[in-house]
Every structure is written in C-alpha cells, then in structure tokens.
Structure 1
Amino acid sequence: MKKIANISTKAILLLGGLVLGLTGCSEDDDSGNNSEAVITSQSLKMDLSQFEKEDAGVFMQAFYWDVEPIGDWYNVVGEKVEDWADSGINRIWLPSPSKGASGSFSMGYDPMDYFDVGEFSQRGEDNVETRFGSRQELEDLIQKSHANDIEVIADVVMGHNSGGGLQYNPYRDAEVFSLFNEENGNASGKFNRNFEHFHPNAIVDSDEEALFFAETDLSHAVPYVQEWLWGRDDSVGEFYKSLGFDGWRFDYVKSFAPKWVKAWNDKIGGFSVGENFDGNQQVLKDWVDASGSPAFDFACFYRLDETLDRAQDLTPLGEADNMLRKLDPNMAVTFVANHDTEKDENPDNRISYGNKLLAYSYILTHDGYPTIFYLDYEAFKGQLKTLIQIYNTLAVGDVEIIEANKDEYIMKRSGSGDNPGLILYMNISKQTKQRVVKTNWAGKTLVDYTDNSRATPTADAEGNATIQAPPGSYSIWSITKE
C-alpha cells in the first residue's frame, strides 16, 4: 500500500523541478534580479478579491486510491477544510461512505451494506469503521465543511454490489454471491437483496451493456431496487442526505441508464456529477442531456493528455467542439487527475507530473467547473492557490482562442463589466516564447498574475501588446492596478 509520507516526498521532489522550470528566463534576463522583479510585479497587481464571482468555487477530490492511515481519513480531511475554504474550494468529493466487501481495506467501490457507514460489525468482524473512519467522524467532517461554506459530495455506487452470500440463481443456472441479509454482508438489515434484484431477473435481462460485475449488477428496473435506492423516505439517498451530504458523484454510469440518475436527482435533489468514462465529447453530451446531470469532462482530460504528453502538440486545443466544455460548459466538470488515472500504469491514461500545472492552467482559466485532485494540491499548493484565485475572479467572459500551434496556446477571456478578464499563454517549447496579441486593454500596462514572467508590457492605442511565457510553462495576463 502507498504511504502518505512516500507520496509526499515524491511530490515535493517533482515540485522542486517544476518550480525551477516555472521561473525560467529569456536569454537576456538577469536571473539575479528575479526576486526583485517578482516583488515589483506584486505591487502592480490589482486586488483580485474585488472581482470574486457570485458562483465562485472549485471542486476538490478529497481522497486518492488506498488512502492512509486506515480508519482516520475523515480526520485527515477535516484538518484540511479551512485551508481549502481559504483557497476558494466550494465542494469536496468524498469516497463512497458505505461499508464494502473488503472491510477496513475497502475504498468504497465494492459496496455491501449501503446503510453501514462505520457503525456495524459485518460477517463476524470486530472492526466497525470503514477505511475512512466512523459514522461520527464522517458527520463531524461534514459539519466542519458546512461551517466553512463547503458542500460535501458523496460517491454513489449503485451499479454493482459485492460481498453477499452464495445462492443459486435460476436465471443464470449458477450459484452467485447475491444474498445480502443480516448474516451475509448487510448487518443494518435495510435493503436486503437476493438474485431477483440483479441481472438477469423476471423483469429484464440487463440494464446497460457495460457491466462491471455482471453477476451482481443491480437491476434498477426492479421497483424494490428503485424504492430502496432513492424512492422511499428511508432510502439510501435519503439516508446519505440525513448524514449531511449535499450532492452526489455517480460512479461508472455506463453500467445503468441515465434515466436512473435523473430519477435519483428528482427525488433526492442536490448537486451531481456522473463518471462517464469516455473520451468522446458527443457521448458525454448525450449522457448529460438524458440524465440532466453534469459529467466529468473526460474528453477534455484526454485532449490535455494528448497535447501535453503523447503528441506534444497544442494545436488540438484550438479545435472546435472536441470537449464537453466546448459543447456545454455549464454541464462540464473538468479535471486533470483522479483516483483512477493516478494509479493507471498506462501513460496514455494519465497526465504526467511535469505537465500537471500546464493542464491546471488550462482548466482554471476556461469555462467549466474545475476539479483539483488531493495529491496535486498537496504537491503544488502555492501555484494552485494562485490559479484557483484567478479562476474565481478573472476567468469570466467569452472564450476566444488567439493562437494554437505545436508549441503555443493563447486564449483570451473577455471579462465582464469592470472585470478585465485575462489572457492565458501556454508554452511547451524549451525556450521562452513571446507574441504580439490583440487585447481589450488599449493603453494599459499588463502583468502576469502567476509571476512566471517578469515582463510588464504596455498595450498600444489599439490594444496590441507583446506577452511572453517561459519554457515548458504558462503565464496569465491582465491589467495592473490604476
């Protein structure tokens, strides 16, 4: 298992290399004056708090795979909440709270007893806590989050179950682990299940075709299952809400129809986002249209992975309609990493650490609702705090792509009212790049609000200004204070 100390050490080493890259200079720069230049640029910056958006806020995935220490994770997260709130986080996503078949080792994705969130002994085991802690610790964390104006989102795993007792299933003519009762993985005694509640059954053979555990795939077409998941006043959804949860992250939605997400949300309410693990933007758009729920923008994730890591060519970032956020930004939850991508050994399914901040500079300046991954925040806290502040203030107005080529991507947000907006300059080449761009800021002096560039260009009477970005890095420009 991964240890927090080991992960943190690796992250710190990686961060050190990134910091060196982010402070890179052009050939005629005097690097000895860099600290003085940063201080000077700080004195030029506007107070961004005056521009904070009414809907300001960023999503935090508050866990990673195999979190440790076992049994204490809710307390660990509780110690982070005030800092996250100060940074501009408005929602945190916790793993599935219910007891899993793996007991204290479970990350929640093998749900067994939906009504056991760390208070029952299951199958003769002495330990009652989940991997993350006790019910009381969960409720304390939620209360502390609410006190800091942070909503808490529960992971809802309603496609498949694990850990039941073995019984004969006549629809499969085989024995299946589909018996869930007080003696078989369901000590709460609520939502007992048997083979009639899985696929196939007397009503339907299957729900969707992308089944994770086909033998114990819950059948949402069965009225009993619907009632216990969301329909009853004491359903799973209502139970989660009674704990204080404010919304839902639906796990692996390819295994059940989007209408079941809509049914849950219509009855339970709250914010929601679906995990439709698909890089095709139209598949994502069809799902959000059918479910009425936002979805994680896997198309955006894979475009960033492709451009930054695999092809090392930023040109596709300028193409139209190749992400959910380009088709429907209000329904796109963007991200750079999650618990699945970070443990995937396939480099095509994760963005490398060396390019993480470039990817975050993209999602934290564009439209969509951006997500920060717990380990990334721990590794790159200073830079991410700056980017989150920029997202919550200057990242407003229409998105206009100024340039997208192999090495460069330049995008402008038009601003709104007194808010001047911003210009993002990404540069993946090995040397400083600069370019004359048309801004909305005629006669204004500009400054890089990330401090990655020390330049302070002035736009001419027509708004043209020469901006730059360091090698393998980014800069985010706006006007100086009056």
Structure 2
Amino acid sequence: MDTVFAGWACLFNRNTTEINTMAVMMQAFYWDAPKNEKKEGEWWNFVAEKVEDLSKAGINALWLPPVSKGSSNQSMGYDPYDYFDLGDFDQKGGVKTFFGNRAELQALIAKAHEHNIGLYADMVINHNSGADEEEVNPLDGQKRWTKFAPKSGRFPRDWNCFHPSRYERVMMPDEENYAGFPHLCHRNPVVYTAMFDYARMLIEELGFDGFRFDFVKGFGAWMIGILSKYRYVKDGAEFMPYVVGEYWSGAEDINAWIDKVNALTDNQISAFDFALRYKLKDVCDTPNYDLRNLTDDGAVVMKRPMHAATFVDNHDMGDNVIVNDKMMAYSFIMVHEGYPCIFWYDYYNNGLARPGTPNGIDALIQAHVKYAGGDSQILHADPDLYIMQRVGWKDDKTEQPGLIYVLNNLGNQWSGTSVKTQWKNQKFAPIAWDGHDTAHPDERTTDGDGNSEFPAPPRGFAIYAPV
C-alpha cells in the first residue's frame, strides 16, 4: 500500500499566517484551570512562568482562553459580557477576570514574544451573557436578557444587536444556538463595528498573533472572512493573523466550511480536525480498532493538511476525553502534516511531557520539529500495524530529513514488518517511542533496495530517523 498525502513547507513567523511542519501550538488552559490550580485571577502570570521552558521544548504558539470579562469574574470567558474589560473594571463579581488583568496579559504576551512564541486569542463573537436587564424584542414579543451596559463604556447593546433583529430576517436555526444565550446579529453596524474594534485591540494594542474562533457553525463564515482580511498594522507593518475555527462536526462539514470561509479571503484559514480526533480516540479506547481506518480521507489533515489544526483533547471534551494509551494519539498528530495542538492538561497535569526521556510529548515535539518534513507516504497498513514515512524537505535555511513512524495496535507484543523506504543503505536510530514496553528499540539499516523491518512496542509507537 503506498498512499501519498500532499506536504507543505511554508515558514511560520509572527508577521504572517504561514505555518510550517516545524510549528507546534499549545492550548494553554483547560476548563476551570485557574480554580483547579489555585491561580484564580493569576493565570496569565502562571502561564508566563512556563514560557521559557515551553519555548525550549519547541512550542511556537499558545492559544489563550477568552480574555474579556464574562458574566462572572469566575467565568472561563465563553459567556462574554464586556469585550473591552480585560480585568480592569469592578463588575460581575470583581475587577480581574478569572485569568488576570490587562497589564498581566500584556506582560505574558511580551514575554512569549521574547521567546519566539506567538499568541492566539479565543474569539467568542456569537453569543453573549450576563445582561443587566431583560427587555421585550418588538419583532416577536419575546422577553430576553439583551440590555447590556458594560462599565468599559464600549459596545453597550440592546435587543436590536441580537437575533431577531431588524438587520437580518433569517433567525439562527435552533440547533445552532448555544446554552440559551442571546446571539449577536453581526449585520447590525453597531455589532459589526464593535467586533472590528475588538479584533483590532487584540492584534494592534495587545499584540496577539492570531485568532481561534469559537463555535463557528453558529454564525456566518463571512464575519470570520472580513475579520481575517482586515489590514491590521503591527510594529509599523501590515499584519495578517493566523486564523483557525472550531467547527465541531465531521470531515465533510468541516471541509465545506473551510471552502466557504476561504472563498471570502486570501487567508489560509484552518479548522480543528475533529474528524481525526475521534479516529484517534478509537485507536486509543476501542479494543481491536482497525488501523486501516487511519488511511482514508475521513479526516481534514488527509485531504487538506494546510488547513488542518490537529489535536488529541481539549477543554470541551469532558467525559469524552481519551482514557487509554493517549501517547499513541499524540504520536500520530506529531509525525503527520497539519498544525498540531498540545493540550495543557495532558502536558502538565497528566504528566505526558516527560522531559529528558524518549517516551513523552517533548520527544515528539523534537521529532516533529527536526525530522517531520515533506510528504507522508503510507508504507504498510493492516488492522494492527501502521507504518508511514515522511520523505523529508529542505530549503536554503532549513532541513527536515524525514522519518519512519510505526504504530502498533497489538497489546501483547512488539510488532513490525519489512517495508520498502525511500532510503537505500541508510542507518536509522529510534528517537521517540512509548507503549506497554518502553525498552529501547534497536537501530535499523535499510538494504540496497531501501528495505528494512521497523518494530514498535505493544500498544505503542516508535519513530526512527536517518542518521
């Protein structure tokens, strides 16, 4: 079996939207993180303490939680009340947000930039909560909490800023509503202008480098298109942010949304690859899962890797988190194309970073950064064994020589098979591995035709690099 997935190799820096195979982001929070870590109102400071180590590990960007004051100062921010209160106004139970204040956020951003780490802002522009008064919407006679008088003095709003509104005849479908919160009508010029002001503040004043848009199926793709295409100015130069959307659905729906939103802008807007994530959960948590399911196009990364942000778990998964052998999932996203996202809770709280060992996320980051370049080519796939090579890539400044990746689904033995690689008479050394047996794999050498056997531990993986 020999399947090729298109590779891509454009350099990421904080002045473009471009991401390369060397880039790795981290979701720098989990649900109720400040409370669980006893860092209420101090999360920005807490993350700042980790920046230097994360940079050394190879993280190039942090996705931060929503920065604005929600309906409570103990809120995770997905119920925005005052978009322009970053923790400096005494409202909704206190001055600071759950995460801190504006000065602390700016200090975190500055420190991250000093260590070549970008910051992505979580954009919750669909629904609001915490209104100050109920009022009757004259279009349907319904009473709703839609009267907002934020202490920042910016973006006060009433019923006509929400659906149903005089600015748009079509109401949001019931299935796209979120938690019963009122939904903003972006076609109202007041709302439209406020969202631009908010985005400009994040990029031009605070220094964010990109956006993660929350719950994008709940509003028009055109809104993301125009916020992405706006000509932001940063450090005296025009700036284009990295943009990724959360479209929680299958691959077909996500691909359709990517087509729609990218038709509105010349940005390369991405989406989180939920389809791949659920395949990886099955790999880890479903007994006897057929690894050949990883070879089809039922994931965004397999069809359009330039638009795929891959991940294993996030703050929304709740009881659906991956329970068993999670490193198998991380190994897969870290050797394939796409822009992998590491979950703070897995890295720190679940102890999967494992610095200084070949068995953790840190070793996978190094494999990703140093070796995982060029196209992916599947060399072998059966129900219990998956072997792939990255063919390598280089330009005048950078080289990633490629790798061999082996995923073993068997729970009771090391497993491998002879495959024909692109490398002839080439020695390979194991650079990362984990499983139910963590013994050191042996080096391998291909013959004159490029053949060799590459094994991996039971319920685990091994990554081999040319030396």
Matched, 1:297 2:273: yes
Structure 2 residue matching 1:471: 3-state secondary structure? coil
CA deviations over 1:297-335 (Å, ceiling 9, x no partner)? 111111111233235424344433111111110010000
Residue segments in structure 2 that go unaligned for 5+ positions in a row: 1-8, 13-19, 233-239, 263-268, 355-359, 435-439
Please name the residue that 1:351 is paired with.
322
Shift of 1:121: 1.0
Structure 2 residue matching 1:80: 3-state secondary structure? helix
Cα distance in 2, alignment partners of residues 318 and 163 from structure 1: 43
Equivalence map 1:227-376=2 (5 Å) = 227-230=193-196, 235-241=197-203, 242-267=205-230, 268=232, 269-278=240-249, 280-292=250-262, 293-310=269-286, 312-341=288-317, 344-345=318-319, 349-352=320-323, 354-376=324-346
Shift of 1:147: 0.7
Matched, 1:188 2:152: yes
Does the Cα contact within 8 Å between 2:433 and 2:460 map onto a contact in 1? no
Q: What amino acid does structure 2 have at the position aligned with 1:170?
A: P
TM-score (norm 2): 0.85
Cα distance in 2, alignment partners of residues 120 and 216 from structure 1: 23
Shift of 1:113: 0.2
CA deviations over 1:78-99 (Å, ceiling 9, x no partner)? 0110111111111101100000
Match of 1:459 among 430, 442, 446: 446
Task: Specify which structure has the higher proportion of helix.
Answer: 1
Q: Residues 316 and 111 from structure 1, CA distance in 2 versus in 1: closer, same or farther, beyond 3 angstroms?
A: farther
Identity among equivalent positions (%) equals: 37
Does the Cα contact within 8 Å between 1:449 and 1:476 map onto a contact in 2? yes
Shift of 1:284: 0.9
Residue segments in structure 1 that go unaligned for 5+ positions in a row: 1-50
Matched, 1:426 2:403: no
Q: What amino acid does structure 1 have at the position aligned with 2:91?
A: Q
Matched, 1:389 2:366: yes
Q: What amino acid does structure 2 have at the position aligned with 1:141?
A: L
Cα distance in 2, alignment partners of residues 336 and 367 from structure 1: 14
Shift of 1:403: 1.9
Structure 1 residue matching 2:373: 3-state secondary structure? coil
Cα distance in 2, alignment partners of residues 404 and 395 from structure 1: 19
Matched, 1:168 2:130: no
Structure with larger Rg: 1
Does the Cα contact within 8 Å between 2:291 and 2:409 map onto a contact in 1? no
Q: Residues 371 and 419 from structure 1, CA distance in 2 versus in 1: closer, same or farther, beyond 3 angstroms?
A: closer
Please name the residue that 1:108 is paired with.
77
Does the Cα contact within 8 Å between 1:299 and 1:324 map onto a contact in 2? yes
CA deviations over 1:260-289 (Å, ceiling 9, x no partner)? 1001111254111100011x2121111112
Does the Cα contact within 8 Å between 1:198 and 1:215 map onto a contact in 2? no
Equivalence map 1:208-223=2 (5 Å) = 208-209=172-173, 210-213=176-179, 216-223=182-189
Cα distance in 1, alignment partners of residues 102 and 294 from structure 2: 47
Does the Cα contact within 8 Å between 1:334 and 1:368 map onto a contact in 2? yes
Matched, 1:178 2:146: yes
Does the Cα contact within 8 Å between 2:292 and 2:386 map onto a contact in 1? no
Match of 1:73 among 43, 48, 68: 43
Structure 1 residue matching 2:30: 3-state secondary structure? coil
Please name the residue that 2:98 is paired with.
131
Q: What amino acid does structure 2 have at the position aligned with 1:478?
A: A
Please name the residue that 1:449 is paired with.
431
Cα distance in 2, alignment partners of residues 294 and 361 from structure 1: 21
Cα distance in 2, alignment partners of residues 246 and 276 from structure 1: 21
Cα distance in 2, alignment partners of residues 446 and 406 from structure 1: 25
Q: Residues 338 and 294 from structure 1, CA distance in 2 versus in 1: closer, same or farther, beyond 3 angstroms?
A: same
CA deviations over 1:415-434 (Å, ceiling 9, x no partner)? 13574311110112121112
Please name the residue that 1:475 is paired with.
462
Q: Residues 207 and 403 from structure 1, CA distance in 2 versus in 1: closer, same or farther, beyond 3 angstroms?
A: farther
Q: Residues 196 and 422 from structure 1, CA distance in 2 versus in 1: closer, same or farther, beyond 3 angstroms?
A: same
Matched, 1:63 2:34: no
Shift of 1:396: 1.0
Comparing 207-216 with 291-300, greater Cα deviation is found at 207-216
Cα distance in 2, alignment partners of residues 435 and 330 from structure 1: 31
Does the Cα contact within 8 Å between 1:207 and 1:257 map onto a contact in 2? no
CA deviations over 1:221-268 (Å, ceiling 9, x no partner)? 2122111111xxxx1111222112111110000100111100111125
Structure 2 residue matching 1:429: 3-state secondary structure? coil
Cα distance in 2, alignment partners of residues 173 and 325 from structure 1: 46
Structure 2 residue matching 1:161: 3-state secondary structure? coil
TM-score (norm 1): 0.82
Shift of 1:206: 4.1
Q: What amino acid does structure 2 have at the position aligned with 1:461?
A: G
Structure 1 residue matching 2:401: 3-state secondary structure? coil
Does the Cα contact within 8 Å between 2:285 and 2:322 map onto a contact in 1? yes
Match of 1:90 among 60, 72, 83: 60
Q: What amino acid does structure 2 have at the position aligned with 1:81?
A: V
CA deviations over 1:336-365 (Å, ceiling 9, x no partner)? 011111xx22xxx3322x321100110000
Q: What amino acid does structure 2 have at the position aligned with 1:395?
A: A
Cα distance in 2, alignment partners of residues 457 and 215 from structure 1: 58
